[in-house]
Amino acid sequence: MGFMNPCLELNGMAERELTSFYAAVKKMFGREEAERSAKEWIGEISSAARVPRSLREWREISVNVAKRVALRLETVGAA
């Protein structure tokens, strides 16, 4: 194996994490919520001070957005 471009590696991690996150939300709550959550996930990265550099940091973004999804759905369910 040759040298792996760090940008390509980060893109790959981001793509895999977002794809997994989207699939999980879609399976549990449907396409509409998955799309909304994916936009939030991307927004979380956009507002970050720096691009995550490890799988753990990418996963942390998913966890943060998942918490907001849970709160949003809890609020909707309580209404």
Long-range own/partner contacts, residues 43-52 (CB < 8 A, 24 or more apart): 45/14, 51/10, 52/10, 52/13, 52/14
Q: What is residue 24's predicted lDDT score, i.e. its pLDDT?
A: 96
Residue 71, in any domain of the structure: yes
Q: What is the mean pLDDT of each run of 10 residues along the chain (79 residues)?
A: 68 92 96 96 91 92 95 78
Q: What is residue 71's predicted lDDT score, i.e. its pLDDT?
A: 93
13 SS3 class? helix
Q: What is residue 79's predicted lDDT score, i.e. its pLDDT?
A: 56
Domain of 60 in residue numbering reads as 7-78
How many structural domains comprise the chain?
1
61 SS3 class? helix
Residue 2, in any domain of the structure: no
| pTM, 2 dp | 0.83
Give CA torsion, residues 75, 37, 22, 64, to 10 deg.
-80
